[in-house]
Amino acid sequence: MFEQLKKVFAPEKSDGQTPPSVNAVSEWASTQGLSYSGSADGHRFAMTGMVANRPMKLELGNPTRDYIHGGELLARAELKVNDDAAVFVINRPLKEALDARAYGMFTDTLQTRVNPSLPEEMRWMALYGEVGWDGLPKLFWTHYSVMAGQREHARNWITPELATLLVSWPTPDATRPFILMLLRGKAYLRMQYAPGDMPTLAHAAAVFRHACESALASHSTDISL
């Protein structure tokens, strides 16, 4: 059974040829105006380019968080928007899991200090309160939690269009670890990703691009919030 699963998720290459999924990702990157470099098996790649005239990077690699299994898709853009804006969007199953982990940590009488190996997201969750407002799809609030230093920063950034994208994944999976963040003038995306899943990759890129454009429109340093 295990060998069968290995063949499904990591098929062997034949005759030294590049897997079709690698070519598909490379060709897609080209259509998006992104430069591409990646491993021969398609399990790692890096794409660089611009979003609204700001540098961005989209990459796939081994997980850097223990709550992600398989591949970890990361995106980052140097937007240089308002440094005071701190907004954190997380899917609810992941938030609940991290909440339970934090509760267990702080109620463990044998643990006297914070473990430095804990995900940074747990510190953000302790710093920022959960916020909400009317005007977004109900399904968004079912699937995601939003935390922010200031409610208006979140409300200005997460438009109805962005919220709709966040609940319209090609393969819906409310349990898939997902984080979208605006912090220190930069935008970040982190999520669990199965290499070769082109529809999800394209949708994640669309979510991130829209998030960057929304941040630039609403959180530019020359806009008073």
Query: Largest Cα–Cα distance in the chain?
Result: 60
In a domain, 59, yes or no: yes
Give 223's pLDDT tier (boundaries 50, 70, 90): very low
Count structural domains, the chain.
Answer: 1
- State the average pLDDT over residues 108-123: 62
pLDDT at residue 147 in the model: 96
In a domain, 223, yes or no: no
HSE (side-chain half, CA atoms, 13 Å) at 192: 16
Any idea what DSSP says for residue 18? P
Alpha carbon 87 to chain centroid distance? 13
pLDDT at residue 222 in the model: 41
Q: Under a CB-based contact definition with an 8 Å cutoff, are residues 138 and 150 in contact? A: no
Domain membership of residue 25 as a residue range:
2-218
In a domain, 78, yes or no: yes
In a domain, 225, yes or no: no
- State the average pLDDT over residues 215-223: 71
* 155 pLDDT more than 70: yes
The two three-digit tokens of residue 25, written as one number = 């990702």
* 12 pLDDT more than 70: no
Q: How far is the C-alpha of 171 from the C-alpha of 67, rounded, in Å?
A: 20
In a domain, 163, yes or no: yes
Percent of the chain with pLDDT over 70: 82
Which alpha helices (H) appear in 39-190, and where do they start and end?
A: 92-106, 120-127, 138-143, 151-157, 160-166
Strand partners, 74: 59, 190
In a domain, 19, yes or no: yes
Average pLDDT over the chain, rounded to an integer: 86
Q: How many CB atoms lie within 10 A of CB 39?
A: 13
Q: Which residue has the higher pLDDT, 172 or 11?
A: 172
In a domain, 85, yes or no: yes
